[in-house]
Amino acid sequence: MSRREFLMLAKKFNDQDVAGWWLSEKLDGTRAFWDGGVSRGVPTSQVPWASVTNPKTGEPKAKVKPIATGLWSRYGNPVMAPDWFLNQLPSCLLDGELFSGRGMYQKTRSIVGGDTPGEGWDKIRYCVFGSPSFRAVFSDGEIKNPNFHLTMNLDKVRSFYESRAGVLVDFKSLEAPVPFEEELRFILQAVTTECQVVDFIPQAQLPDDDEEAAEQVERLMHRFLAVGGEGVVLRDSSPWTPKRIAGLLKVKPTNDDEGILVGFTAGRETNKGSKLLGKIGALILDYKGKRLELSGLTDEEREFSTLVETATAKCSPGEIMPADFQGKHFRIGDKVSFKYRELSDSGIPKEARYWRKR
C-alpha cells in the first residue's frame, strides 16, 4: 500500500525556480484540518481517520480525547474548540492554521492544545490556505510516522460521510483534485462573511520571469520578517496532495550559534528503520545554561569511540549515555555550532541542526 501523510507538507526552499508560483505569509500557528463538521459530536474512536493507535506499539492509545469536534491536528487528534467557534466554520473541507498573532506560537499552543475548550479562543483565528478535494484528503494509503499510524480507506470514509448526511445538509467539497487556482476560487466562494472566525490567507502570484520572481520572494519575505513574521510559503499549481511535496516550499531565515557538548543520547529505531541503533542519536549541548539536543549528523559522525560504547547504546535506545562516553568525532567539552530558525519563548533554539565543530 502506498505511503501518505494526513495532510500536505512542505519541503524547504533551496533556490528553486518559482516563477509563476503563489506566495503567502508563513504563519507561526498550529496546523488544523476541518472536516466540514461531519465528525462533530461523534466518539473519536468511531471516526475512520482518528489517531487512536499508539504508533510505537500498535496497541490502542492510553489516552484519546473522547469526542471529536470536526477540527483535527496534523496527527489526527481532535482539537477541542468551543461550540461558538465551531458554529462559525463552513460546511466544507478546509486546511489551515489556528493563529493568534505573529510571535505568539507558545500562547496559541497553550490555548488550542488542551483536553477541553479553555479560555483564550476569542483570540484565535482559523487562517485558511487550502481546501483539499475529498478524494485527495481521504485517499487510500498508509500514514506511518512517529506520531500517527493509520491505514486510510476512501470507501470507509465515504460511508461515514453518507451516514452523517442529516448533519451535513449544506456540505460541499471538491470531489477530485484540481489545480491550486481552482482550489482558491472554491475557498473564496465557500468562506463567506458569516464565517467570522475564518481568515483567508492572501496569495500573491509571482512574476513569470525567474529573476523577478526570486527578487519578489526575497522582498516579501523581509517585509513579513520586519513585522514579526517567520517567512513565506510558496505553492505551484499542482493539486493538494497528502504528502511532503516539491510543489509546496517554506522559506525561512536561519540563525547560528554554539554550545558546549556535555553528552549524547543513543539512537533508536525510527519509521525509516533501525540504522541509528548503536549510534549517537543526538548531541546534548549546554546552551546558555539550558539543555539542547542537536540532530543533523551524518552516519559517520554518529559513531561512538569504542565497541563497548556502541553495544551499550544499542541496548539503550533513546537513553542518555554515561558521562564518560565519547564519539569518534566529538569529545565532551567540544564547542559545537548549529543553525536554527528562531528562539522559543523560553530561549531554546527551534529546529536546531548541527552545523560544525569549532
Confidence of residue 72 (pLDDT cuts 50, 70, 90): very high
Averaged over 328-349, what is the pLDDT? 88
Residue 156 lies in a domain: yes
What 8-state DSSP symbol labels residue 70? S
Amino acid 143: pLDDT: 96
Amino acid at 132: P
- Look at residues 157, 172, 200 and tell me which one is the last residue of a structural domain: 200
The number of angstroms, rounded, from the C-alpha of 249 to the middle of its chain's C-alpha atoms is 13
Confidence of residue 271 (pLDDT cuts 50, 70, 90): low
Residue 61 lies in a domain: yes
Residue 78 lies in a domain: yes
Same structural domain for residues 45 and 182? yes
Amino acid 272: pLDDT: 54
- When divided into structural domains, the chain yields a total of 3
Same structural domain for residues 192 and 245? no
Amino acid 48: pLDDT: 97
Determine the straight-line distance between the first and last CA of the chain, rounded to whole angstroms: 46
Residue 1 lies in a domain: no
Same structural domain for residues 120 and 141? yes
Residue 307 lies in a domain: yes
Provide the CATH number for the domain around residue 336. Answer: 2.40.50.140
3-class secondary-structure state, position 84:
helix
pLDDT at 260 over 90: yes
Closest-CA residue to 97 (of 72, 126, 74, 121): 126
Mean pLDDT, the chain, as a whole number? 92
Neighbouring residues of 11: CB distance < 8 A, sequence distance ≥ 6:
244, 245, 246, 248, 249, 250
**Predicted confidence (pLDDT) per residue in 145-154, tens digit:** 889 999 999 9
Residue 326 lies in a domain: yes
Q: Grid coordinates representing 210?
A: 525567474
The whole-angstrom separation of Cα 218 and Cα 92 is 34
Amino acid 274: pLDDT: 61
Q: Grid coordinates representing 9?
A: 507538507
Same structural domain for residues 238 and 187? no
Same structural domain for residues 104 and 72? yes
Residue 4 lies in a domain: no
Lowest mean pLDDT among 63-77, 87-101, 333-347: 333-347
Provide the CATH number for the domain around residue 113. Answer: 3.30.470.30
Same structural domain for residues 87 and 124? yes
Q: Grid coordinates representing 136?
A: 485527495
Same structural domain for residues 237 and 175? no
**Predicted confidence (pLDDT) per residue in 212-221, tens digit:** 999 999 999 9
- Look at residues 253, 283, 318 and tell me which one is the last residue of a structural domain: 253
Neighbouring residues of 271: CB distance < 8 A, sequence distance ≥ 6:
144, 145, 146
Amino acid at 216: Q
What domain range is 157 assigned to? 28-200
Asked if residues 16 and 249 have their Cβ atoms less than 8 Å apart, the reply is: yes
Same structural domain for residues 154 and 243? no
Provide the CATH number for the domain around residue 210. Answer: 3.30.1490.70
Same structural domain for residues 240 and 285? no
Averaged over 6-27, what is the pLDDT? 94
pTM: 0.75
Residue 88 lies in a domain: yes
- Look at residues 253, 280, 295 and tell me which one is the last residue of a structural domain: 253
Same structural domain for residues 327 and 276? yes
For the ranges 208-217, 252-261, 273-282, the one whose mean pLDDT is highest: 208-217
Please compute Rg for the chain using Cα positions. Answer: 22
pLDDT at 358 over 70: no
Same structural domain for residues 195 and 214? no
pLDDT at 19 over 90: yes
% of the chain exceeding 70 in pLDDT: 98
Same structural domain for residues 51 and 110? yes
